[in-house]
Structure 1
Amino acid sequence: MKIRFRHAARGALIGGLASVTVAAFGYVGGWLAPRRLTPQRLVDTLQDNAGLHPGYRRNHAKGVCVAGWFEGNGEASAYSTAAVFGRSRTPVVGRFAIPGGNPYAPDGSVPIRSMALRFNLPDGEQWRTGMNAMPVFPVSTPQAFYEQMMAGRPDPATGKPDPAKLAAFFAAHPETAAFRAWARQAKPSASYVTERYDSINAFYLVDAQEQRRAVRWAMVPQATDGGPGPAGDADYLARDLEQRLGRAPQRWTLRITFAVPGDPVDDAARIWPAGRRTVDAGTLVIDRMQPQDSGSCRDVNYDPTVLPTGIAPSADPLLAARSAAYADSYLRRTAEEAHLPGTARATEATR
C-alpha cells in the first residue's frame, strides 16, 4: 500500500511509535551487507536515537522491579516437560517498563508496556521471557529492523523522525501493515496491571515423547478496570502499581496458543488467525515491587532464549538477534556502573 505524503503527520506518529516498539525488542543479524550489523552497531543505533544515559538500559530504561510466583495448574504438562507447567509454585523475578532509552520519559509517551519475567525452576533451570502489550511486531527480519531504526532517527532540527523517510520505509515494507493498524487505535493505559502481554515470537513446547508443538503465549490480566492514563501526569504507572499491590497481589493467566499447519511460526510480523486452540497453564501472581536501582531484577538479562528443557526457540531470526543485543547492552551497563558516583546503580541496558 502506498503511503501518500499528505498523510505524513499520521505516518510520523505511527512511525515514531514503531521505532520505539522495535527498540522494545532490540535485535541484530550477522549478515547485513555492505556493513555487517553487529550487536555493538545495533546498540549504538539505539543509543544514538534515544541519547546516552549511563548506567541505565539502552531501552526500557524506565521501569520497576517486581517479584512473586507462578502457580502451575498442570494443564500444559501434557505438551511440555518443563517443571514450571506442573502443579507447583515457581518463584518469579520480573520487571515492568515502557519502551525507550530515556529513564525520564512520560509514562503516556507510548501506548506500549512491557513485562519481563524470570522463572526460577526447582531443578536449577530458568525460563526468561520478555513480552509486550501489543499483538504483533512491525517487521520480520533484522535488516528491516535496522532500516526502520534509521528511518525513525530523530531529526536534530525537530527532535522527531522525518515523515518522508518513514513514509518511504513503510511503502517499502508492507509487512508493517498489521502493526500500523494496531498503532492507529492504541492509547496509553493507566496501569501495568490491566495489560495483556504477548510473547509475539513463537516457540515450541516439547513433550516427553519429544513431539514439538509451535506456540505463542500471553499473560492475560485478571484485573478488568483498565482505562486511559491520566492527563498531565508523567509518572503514574509505578504509583498505580504500588497502590494496587498495597491492596492485594495482582494476577495474570498464562494462556498458550497452539499453531496449526501453515501458521507463520518464524515471522513475528504476522498475526495468527483467531480461533486457535488455547490452554490456560496457570496463574502469575505479583505481590511486591522494588526500585529498579536496587531490586532483584536489576542484574537480570531477560534474554528470551534462556529456556528450560521442554521449551525450545523457533527459527524466528529475531530471537537469536535479541539475545546478542541484550548481551552487548548488559555489558555496557555493568561497565558504566563501575564508574558511577557513590552506590547508585540502574537496571540492565536493554531487557
Structure 2
Amino acid sequence: MVERFPPPEQQKPPLGTGNTLFRLAGIGVLVVTAAVSLAYVGGYLDPHRLTPARLVDGLEHNNGVHPGFRRNHSKGVCVAGYFESNGNAAPFSSAEVFSPTRTPVEGRFALPTGNPYSPDSAVPLRSMALRFTQANGQQWRTGMNAMPVFPVSTPEAFYELMQAQAPDPATGKPDPAKPAAFFASHPESAAFLAWVKTAKPSASYATETYTSVNAFYLINAGGERQAVRWKMVPVDQPTVASPPPDAKDYLEPDLDGRLASGPLRWDLMITLAEPGDPVSDASKQWPGERRVVNAGTLVIDSTQPQVDGDCRDINFDPLVLPAGIAGSEDPLLAARSAAYAASYQRRTGEVDQLPKTTAPVSEKKS
C-alpha cells in the first residue's frame, strides 16, 4: 500500500549552472518531455507487467541521475496562496473545497524535464502542482500540465515510448527513427502529435492554461457521480512575454516580477463528461461543446525556492483526494501515483537533512 501522507523530505541540493540538457530536434524531444510527466506522482502498478521502479529507472536512464531532485519536473519553484470557491461545483461534489469558502493552497510550478539544470527553453511544457488543505484536514492534490491531451493511454505504452527515446550509447542521443516507429504503431497519439506541431516554450508560468488530462469523478452528497476533467485558466489574460535572448533561467524571475505587482489568478474550470465520453483514456479529448463549470479562483501570492520551500516536502500524488472527489479507471492515474512514490523514496535518501528556511523570495498578499 502506498503511503499517502509521507514524512517531510530531506533537503535538496541547490539548483546551479551545471550541464544543460541537450536540445533535441523535431517532435521527438517534445514528445518525450510530455510523456515523462507520467512519472510526476506516486500509487500502484501490476508488478507482473510493469513496476514503479522500472519506470523510474527509465527516467534516470534517459535524463541522468541528479541526487536529491525529483526524477521528473525536477526544476521548479514553490508557490503559495489560496482557492476562493464560488460554490458552483457544490451540487456535483461534497468536497469542502467546493463549498463557498477559502482554502489554503501550496504548490509548485515546474519544467517537465528530469534534469534540474535544463535551460527553461529546453521543452515547450510547463506544469502546475497544487495541494489544497481543507479545514477538516482532508487534502486534494493535483498535478497538471500545459497540454490538452496525453500521448498514450496506458503505462505500458508510456514505458515503450521512454525506451524509444532512450539515448543511443554510441551517440548519447536518441535515435530519431525509434520514436517515429513507435508513433506509427500507436495511432492514439494523433491528437497529441497535432498539438506538438504548434507547441512553443512559454516565457512565463503565469500565461499558461494547466489541464488535468486524466479524468476524475465528483461525488455529491447524494452519492451521484459525475465524470470530469479540469483546467486552470489564467484570469484577465496576463501579458505574454518573449524569452530573454540567450537567457537560461527566466521563468522564476518572471514569476517574481509579476507577483511584485500583485497576486496571479487562475479560474478552475471543470468540464462535465456526458455518456459515452472516454473517461479512462487520457489520449482522447472530449467534444468542445461539453458543459463547463467555473468552480472558483486560484490566487497565487508568494514564491519560495524549491530547495528549501514548503513544496519540497509535498508528494503531489493525484490520488490523494478528499471525500467528494475520486479517481477514474484511467490506468495512467495509478501509474503516475506509483512512479512518483518510487522516485520520492529514492530522492529522500540521497542527501543529509539540512536546516530549512521558510523566507519567501517574493510575497504579495491580496
Shorter-chain TM-score above 0.5: yes
Shift of residue 16, structure 1, vs aligned partner: 1.9
Q: Percent identity?
A: 62
Question: Could you say what secondary structure the match of 1:297 adopts?
Answer: helix
Unaligned runs of 5+ in 2: 1-23, 358-366
| Partner amino acid, structure 2, of 1:186 | A
2:90: which partner in 1?
A: 77
| Corresponding residue for residue 233 of structure 2 | 220
1:4-33 Cα distance to aligned partner (Å, 9 max, x none): xxxxxxx9621221111111121897448x
Is residue 36 from structure 1 mapped to residue 18 from structure 2 by the alignment? no
- Distance, in Å, in 2 between the alignment partners of 1:160 and 1:285 is 41
Maintained 8 Å contact 1:29/1:142:
no
Q: Alignment partner of 1:100: what SS?
A: coil
Using the size of structure 1 for normalisation, the TM-score is: 0.91
1:243 is aligned to 2:257: yes
Q: Does 1:122 align with 2:135?
A: yes
Please say if residues 12 and 166 of structure 1, whose CA atoms lie closer than 8 Å, have aligned partners that are also in contact.
Answer: no
* 8 A Cα contact 1:188 1:228, kept in partner: no
Q: Does the aligned pair in 1 maintain the 2:44–2:337 contact within 8 Å?
A: no
Number of residue equivalences: 331
Secondary structure of the equivalent of 2:54? helix
Aligned counterpart, 1:93: 106
Q: Which moved more, 1:151-160 or 1:62-71?
A: 151-160
Distance 1:154 1:24 in 2: 18
- 8 Å Cα contact 1:111-1:189 kept in structure 2: yes
Partners of 2:81 and 2:38 lie apart in 1 by 24
Q: CA RMSD in A?
A: 1.8
* CA distance, structure 2, for counterparts of residue 206 and residue 331 of structure 1: 32
CA distance in 2, matches of 1:30, 1:92: 29
**Does residue 25 in structure 1 map to residue 35 in structure 2?**
no
Superposed, which structure 2 residues align to 1:50-199 within 5 Å?
Answer: 50-199=63-212
Distance (Å, rounded) in 1 between the aligned partners of 2:310 and 2:45: 32
Q: TM-score, normalised by structure 2?
A: 0.87
| Corresponding position: 1:301 with 2:315 | yes
Residue identity in the other structure for 1:282: G
CA separation of 1:128 and 1:30: change in aligned 2, threshold 3 A: closer
Q: Take 2:234 and 2:287, find their aligned partners in 1: how far apart are those partners?
A: 21
- For the pair 1:231 / 2:223, whether they are aligned, the reply is no
Gaps of 5+ in 1: 1-10, 346-351
- Deviation of 1:160 after TM superposition, in Å, equals 2.6
Q: 1:259 aligns with which of 249, 273, 276?
A: 273
Deviation at 1:224, TM superposition (A): 2.9
- Note if contact 2:219-2:225 (Cα within 8 Å) is conserved in structure 1: yes
Question: Are 1:131 and 1:199, in contact at CA under 8 Å, matched by a contact in 2?
Answer: yes
Query: Does the CA-based 8 Å contact 1:29-1:143 persist in structure 2?
Result: no
Whole-angstrom CA distance in 2 between matches of 1:261 and 1:30: 28
Q: Is 1:326–2:326 an aligned residue pair?
A: no
Runs of 4+ in 1 over 6 A off after TM superposition: none
- For the residues of structure 2 that align with 1:29 and 1:172, how far apart are their CA atoms? 27
1:134, CA displacement in angstroms?
A: 0.3
Contact between 2:210 and 2:231, CA under 8 Å: does it hold in 1? yes
Secondary structure of the structure 2 residue equivalent to 1:107: coil
The one-character-per-residue Cα deviations of 1:179-233 (angstroms, maximum 9, x if unpaired) are: 1110011000110001000000000000111000000000001143124433311
In the other structure, the counterpart of 2:12 is: none
Q: Deviations over 1:270-304 (max 9, x none)?
A: 01111110000000000000000110100100000
Q: What amino acid maps onto 1:126 in structure 2?
A: Q
Partner Cα distance (2:177, 2:269) in 1: 40
Aligned residue type for 2:50: L
Q: What is the rounded CA distance, in whole Å, between the counterparts of 2:51 and 2:174 in structure 1?
A: 24
Give the conservation status (yes or no) of the 8 Å contact 1:64–1:96: yes
Letter in 2 for 1:165: K
Of 294, 297, 309, 1:280 maps to: 294
- Could you say if the C-alpha distance between residues 84 and 314 of structure 1 is closer, same or farther in structure 2, counting changes exceeding 3 Å? same
